[in-house]
C-alpha cells in the first residue's frame, strides 16, 4: 500500500503494511515462526550485515510478521517508521536509549503509569540516567526543569489513571524551543483518539499490551518515530549524529534520514538490548488493530455513560474522567482529543481506602486485574497495587490516592456494567 495516506483510518487499521503473502498468496499475514532466514549468497549476507540492503537476518532484529505490525502502527500514528519490542516498558527504555547517557536526564510528567514512575525514578539510575518530574500543566515549571543535560521530555497523552489529558502542543513547543524530542506515551488514547505526531511529538511509545491488542492476550511495545527531528542540529545526540563504531563509522542520521531512529532501534537497540517481540504476539496485535476504531468508539461511549452515572451516585466523592463536561480539561479534550478522552478513569469513594477494597472485592462483572485496555471491564485499587511502590505524595500526584479506584471500561453492555457497579457500591458503603 504505497499510497496508504490516502486511505481512512478504518481502512488502514486493516490493510496498512500487509500484502498477500508472496510465497503462498495467504491473505491474512502469516505467523513467520522462524529465527533465521537463508541468505541468497555470501554477498547478500554481507550487504545485510552492513545495513546496505534491507532484509531479514535473525528474528532478534527483524521478522516479517513483526515488520507488518511495525508498518501498520507507524501508518496509524502518521510516523515515518516504528520498531516493536517485548513490552511497553521495553519501548520506553528503547526510546530513551539512543538519546540518553550517563549524567543525562529526561523531564517527565508526574502523571504517568505507576510502573513508569518506578522505572524512571529508580531503575534508570543504574544506567546513570535520571528523571525530573514536573506538573505538565505548569509550563514554566517544565521550562525551568530543562537543563543542559536534558535529552527528552516525556508525557502520556491520556494519562493513566487520573482523568488527565496532556496539552501535547504546549509541551511540543517547549521541547522544540529547547532542541529536544518530545516522547508521548499514547497507550491509553491509541492513534484512533489522538495522533501525537500531528500535535508536534517527536516519538510515540505504546504498550501494545493494552488497547492495540485489545483483549488481554499478549504483552508488547512499539516506538514510532515522526521522522521530523534533526538529530544533527546539536551535539546532544551523538548516537544518531556521530559515526557508529559497531557499523564501520556509519552515521545513522546521515545514512537513514527520517528513518534514523527506527534503524538505530533495530540495528543497535534490538540487536544489543534484545527486548524483541515474538511473532505470535505480533499476530495477536495485528488481529486486535483490525477492529481498533470500532472498539474505541464503544469504549468511549460506555465510559461516558458510566462516568456520568457514577457522578450522580451517593457513595461517590468524585469522578475524574476528562470526557465529562464537568472536567477541568473539557476544553482541552475538545481541542486535542475530539473523538473522546479514552475509557480509563478513577472514582474517589466517600468511604475511603476501606470502601475501595470492599468495592473491588464485591464486583462480579468487572475483573480485578493489573491491566487496562481490555474488551472486558477491569477494576483495580491503584494505591494498594500498581502504585504501591510510590510515596503517598507520588500517588496523589499520579491520580492514584488511597481513596481512589481505577476503572478500565470495556465494551460490554453498559447497563450490565452499571448494574454491577450499583450492587458493588451498595456493599462498599454498607
Ligand X SMILES: *Cc1c(COP(=O)(O)O)cnc(C)c1O
Nearer of residues 70 and 187 to ligand X, judged by Cβ = 187
CB of 319 to ligand X, least distance (A): 20
Q: How far is the CB of 95 from ligand X (least distance, A)?
A: 11
Please, which residue, 374 or 420, has the CB nearer to ligand X? 374
CB of 209 to ligand X, least distance (A): 4
67-71-77 Cα angle (round to 5):
145
Nearer to ligand X, 113 or 263 (CB): 113
List residues binding ligand X (CB under 6 A).
Answer: 87-89, 113, 115-116, 156, 160, 185, 187-188, 207, 209-210, 219, 221, 372
Give start and end residues of each alpha helix (H) in 160-229.
168-177, 190-193
Q: How far is the CB of 410 from ligand X (least distance, A)?
A: 15
Degrees (nearest 5) of the Cα angle 417, 192, 217?
Answer: 60
Our CB check for ligand X shows the closer of 316 and 341 to be 341
User: Any idea how long the chain is?
Assistant: 430
d(CA 281, CA 259): 24
- Report which residue's Cβ sits closest to ligand X: 88
Going by C-beta distance under 8 Å and a sequence separation of 6 or more, which residues neighbour residue 343? 296, 299, 300, 302, 303, 373, 408, 409, 410
Question: Which residue lies nearer to ligand X by CB, 221 or 279?
Answer: 221
User: Closer to ligand X at the Cβ: 88 or 163?
Assistant: 88
Only one residue has cell 497495587, namely: 385
Residue with smaller CB distance to ligand X, 160 or 394? 160
Helices (H), 35-126: 42-49, 64-77, 88-96, 114-121
CB of 89 to ligand X, least distance (A): 4
Tell the smallest beta-carbon distance from residue 118 to ligand X (Å): 11
Q: Cα–Cα distance between 156 and 183 in angstroms, integer?
A: 8
At how many degrees (to 10) do helices 114-121 and 88-96 cross? 40
Question: What does DSSP say about strands 130-134 and 105-109: parallel, antiparallel, or unpaired?
Answer: parallel
For cell 524483541, name the residue: 276
Q: Which residues of 306-338 are buried (b: 16+ CB within 10 A; e: fewer)?
A: bbebbeebebbebbbbbbbeebebeebbeebbe
What is the smallest separation between the CB atom of 230 and ligand X, expressed in angstroms? 27
CB of 335 to ligand X, least distance (A): 21
In the complex, what is the shortest distance from the CB of residue 206 to ligand X, in angstroms, rounded to a whole number?
Answer: 8
What DSSP character marks residue 243? -
Minimal distance, residue 35 CB to ligand X, in Å: 23
Strand duo 221-225 + 203-207: pairing: antiparallel
23, burial (CB in 10 Å: exposed 0-12, middle 13-18, buried 19+) = exposed
CA 421 – CA 405 distance, rounded (Å): 12
Q: Which of residues 89 and 332 has its CB atom nearest to ligand X in the complex?
A: 89
Min separation Cβ 34 and ligand X, Å: 24
Is the CB of 142 or the CB of 218 nearer to ligand X? 218
Q: Report the residue number, 81 or 88, with the smaller CB distance to ligand X.
A: 88
What distances in angstroms separate CA 144 from CA 97, 135, 136, 153, 170, one per listed residue? 24, 12, 12, 12, 15
Q: Which residues pair with 346 in a beta bridge?
A: 320, 406
- Answer whether 200's CB lies under 8 Å from 79's CB: no
* Nearest to ligand X of 13, 190 (CB atom): 190
Amino acid at each position: 500500500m504505497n499510497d496508504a495516506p490516502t486511505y481512512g483510518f478504518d481502512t488502514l487499521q486493516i490493510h496498512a503494511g500487509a500484502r498477500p503473502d508472496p510465497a503462498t498468496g495467504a491473505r491474512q499475514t502469516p505467523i513467520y515462526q522462524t529465527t533465521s532466514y537463508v541468505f541468497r549468497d555470501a554477498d547478500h549476507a554481507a550487504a545485510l550485515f552492513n545495513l546496505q540492503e534491507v532484509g531479514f537476518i535473525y528474528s532478534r532484529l527483524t521478522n516479517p510478521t513483526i515488520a507488518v505490525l511495525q508498518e501498520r502502527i507507524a501508518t496509524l500514528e502518521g510516523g515515518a517508521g516504528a520498531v516493536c519490542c517485548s513490552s511497553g516498558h521495553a519501548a520506553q527504555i528503547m526510546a530513551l536509549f539512543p538519546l540518553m547517557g550517563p549524567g543525562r536526564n529526561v523531564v517527565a510528567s508526574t502523571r504517568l503509569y505507576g510502573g513508569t514512575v518506578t522505572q524512571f525514578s529508580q531503575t534508570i539510575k543504574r544506567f546513570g540516567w535520571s528523571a525530573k518530574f514536573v506538573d505538565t500543566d505548569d509550563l514554566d515549571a517544565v521550562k525551568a526543569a530543562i537543563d543542559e543535560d536534558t535529552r527528552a521530555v516525556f508525557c502520556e497523552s491520556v494519562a493513566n489513571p487520573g482523568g488527565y489529558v496532556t496539552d501535547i502542543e504546549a509541551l511540543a513547543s517547549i521541547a522544540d524551543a529547547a532542541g529536544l524530542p518530545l516522547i508521548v506515551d499514547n497507550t491509553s488514547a491509541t492513534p484512533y483518539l489522538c495522533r501525537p505526531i500531528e500535535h508536534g511529538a517527536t516519538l510515540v511509545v505504546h504498550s501494545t499490551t493494552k488497547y492495540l491488542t485489545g483483549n488481554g492476550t499478549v504483552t508488547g511495545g512499539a516506538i514510532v518515530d515522526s521522522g521530523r527531528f534533526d538529530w544533527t542540529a546539536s551535539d546532544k545526540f551523538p548516537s544518531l549524529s556521530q559515526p557508529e563504531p559497531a557499523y564501520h563509522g556509519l552515521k545513522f542520521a546521515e545514512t537513514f534520514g527520517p528513518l534514523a531512529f527506527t534503524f538505530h532501534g533495530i540495528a543497535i537497540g534490538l540487536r544489543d538490548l534484545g527486548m524483541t517481540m515474538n511473532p505470535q504476539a505480533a499476530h495477536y496485535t495485528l488481529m486486535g488493530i483490525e477492529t481498533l476504531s470500532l472498539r474505541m468508539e464503544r469504549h468511549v461511549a460506555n465510559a461516558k455513560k458510566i462516568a456520568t452515572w457514577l457522578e450522580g451516585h451517593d457513595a461517590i466523592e468524585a469522578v475524574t474522567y476528562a470526557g465529562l463536561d464537568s472536567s477541568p480539561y473539557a476544553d482541552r479534550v475538545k481541542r486535542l482529543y475530539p473523538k473522546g478522552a479514552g475509557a480509563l478513569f478513577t472514582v474517589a469513594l466517600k468511604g475511603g481506602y476501606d470502601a475501595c477494597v470492599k468495592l473491588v472485592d464485591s464486583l462480579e462483572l468487572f475483573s480485578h486485574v493489573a491491566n487496562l485496555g481490555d474488551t472486558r471491564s477491569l477494576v483495580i485499587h491503584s494505591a494498594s497495587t500498581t502504585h504501591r511502590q510510590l510515596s503517598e505524595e507520588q500517588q496523589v500526584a499520579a491520580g492514584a490516592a488511597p481513596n481512589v479506584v481505577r476503572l478500565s471500561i470495556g465494551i460490554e453492555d453498559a447497563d450490565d456494567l452499571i448494574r454491577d457497579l450499583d450492587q458493588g457500591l451498595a456493599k462498599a458503603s454498607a
